[in-house]
Chain A
Amino acid sequence: MNCQEALNLLYEIIDKEASEIDTKQVEEHLKNCRNCFEIYRMEQAIHDFLNEKTKNYDSSVSLDRLKSKVVKKLDEIDKGESPRGQTHFFNLGTKMLVAAASLVLLIAGGFYLSKFYNHSKNFLPLEKAHWAVAQNINTFKNDDLASQESKIKKLFHYNLSENISNYTLLGGHPENIMGVEMMHFIYSNGNNLISVFIAPADKFFIPSSLKSSGITKDQITFYDHNCRGCRLVYHKVNSSIIITASTNHDFDLLDFIPELTAI
């Protein structure tokens, strides 16, 4: 390999994009060519320098504002608002048809839409909190479990079981969901996770849409919200509202009762 050939491969080598054979040949060449070696050395140093400088860019910028803007946009799409700049896909006739159809849909579907508006308001935040943990358990920040348990006992008069069915208590932490400070505990059976949220009954309410559909079992009334993404079951014990959440629909959450003893 001559100098020109070696230098032609310079950036591919530095970017680790060159083939093994090329890399070997260049290495051989650099052993014997002081000039090329110096060029490689300096280019590598420049590369490392730029890499290091650019890696730290803006990494401390807070994205909360942007994040909430994006979430709002997603909400708009979910609600089916006509997106800006897409209308030109339709000609006038279609537009009229679409308008007429939307009107019909709006009236006919009003009832259901309001139901789903309520869904995203009342259920989604809890589902998301559980989903985040179920997707990646590492996102779950585990606080001192014993102190959390005693806190629950004191605040909500509620005892937490270590084991329920074949599930074991993994950990817990406080979490603010829908503006309410609640406790979020995680149980696992090895491959499936169940979230248990414990919220103060004076701040958190069982959604009114569920009120008519309580299921009474073992003298406790459960309110079941079953959705494809996640299942939530609510019940009240003493001064707390307990919500269990699972993405596994085969498992019956009605059998999953953390603790019944009133203190």
Chain B
Amino acid sequence: MSDREEDKFLTKKEEHNKRITFETEALPHMDALYRTALRMTKNENDAEDLVQEAYTKAYRFWDKFESGSNCRAWLFKIMTNIFINNYRSKSRSPMALNVDEIDDNFLYGQLSSLDLEENPEKKFFSKIFDDDVKKAIDNLPDDFRVVVVLSFLDGFSYQEIADITDLQLGTVKSRLHRGRKLLQKELYDYAIKNGFIKEKTK
């Protein structure tokens, strides 16, 4: 083999090595990425596309990933970035506009005034199923939903979420806070609509 051929051979070997480390370090996070992608995009086709795009991009930039650092957070950053740029609906949800009219600790305010027995939330929760919570999360405006999902589904810390979304720490906190308020309102409205609890008489 000539030197040049040898070089090319070695490059190919390195690519092969890259493939193996990528498959062992990055691919095991597919479960978590897909679950999150599902809640971000709200449908299976988009979620699959999003995960594929994220992995394709991650593989192209694999040499930029510092081995030993947090691979999971790095992958989420790539995926969240693609979601925000390519999938997020551009129009502002009307819900986002009303969020500041919702009281803090909304559910507490509603449930505690119902004069139910001790721990009134227990009865409330027992009627609400996984799918109902899923729907409530899906109804959140994109900006809030991303932060809520990264916190609740994936258990990332405020700082990690800030790194993943390229938002200020304060913005992360406020979106999470407002996301929670909206969720509480959604679930409450749902419970009223289905007669699980009766609205207090005015």
Contacts and interface: CB of A to CB of B under 8 A. Distances in A.
Given A53-B130, A70-B55, A58 B20 contact: no
A66 B23 contact: no
Given A17-B158, A61-B34, A51 B152 contact: yes
A128 B20 contact: yes
A155 interface: no
Contacts of B112: 38, 42
A66 B52 contact: yes
A63 interface: yes
A67 B51 CA distance: 10
Nearest to B108: A42
B39 A57 contact: yes
A58 B130 CA distance: 10
B5 to A, nearest CB: 7
B19 A78 contact: yes
B20 A131 contact: yes
Contacts of A119: 12, 16
Interface in A25-74: 38-39, 42-43, 45-46, 49-51, 53-59, 61, 63, 66-67, 69-70, 73-74
Nearest to A227: B13
A100 to B, nearest CB: 18
B51 A124 contact: no
Contacts of A77: 56, 59-60
B167 interface: no
A46 B184 contact: yes
Nearest to B122: A45
A43 B108 contact: yes
A131 B24 contact: yes
Nearest to B48: A66
Interface residues of B, number: 56
Interface string B28-44: 00110011001100000
Nearest to A105: B8
B157 interface: yes
A46 B184 CA distance: 8
Contacts of B24: 131-132, 135
Contact of A116 (B12, B22, B177): B12
A17 B158 CA distance: 8
A70 B51 contact: yes
Given A11-B173, A42-B112, A112 B9 contact: yes
Interface in B175-198: 176-177, 180, 183-184
A39 B133 contact: no
B175 to A, nearest CB: 11
Given A66-B30, A69-B52, A73-B56, A58 B125 contact: no
Given A46-B184, A229-B16, 16 more contacts: A11-B177, A17-B157, A39-B108, A49-B121, A54-B153, A58-B34, A63-B30, A66-B34, A66-B51, A66-B52, A73-B59, A74-B22, A83-B60, A116-B16, A131-B20, A228-B14
Q: Which 10 A-B pairs have the closest CB atoms?
A: A53-B133, A228-B13, A229-B17, A54-B152, A42-B108, A70-B55, A49-B125, A54-B153, A135-B24, A73-B56
27 contacts: A15-B151, A42-B112, A43-B105, A45-B121, A45-B122, A46-B184, A50-B183, A53-B128, A54-B149, A54-B152, A55-B153, A66-B51, A66-B52, A69-B48, A70-B30, A74-B19, A74-B22, A77-B60, A78-B19, A83-B56, A112-B8, A119-B12, A127-B20, A135-B24, A229-B16, A229-B17, A230-B20
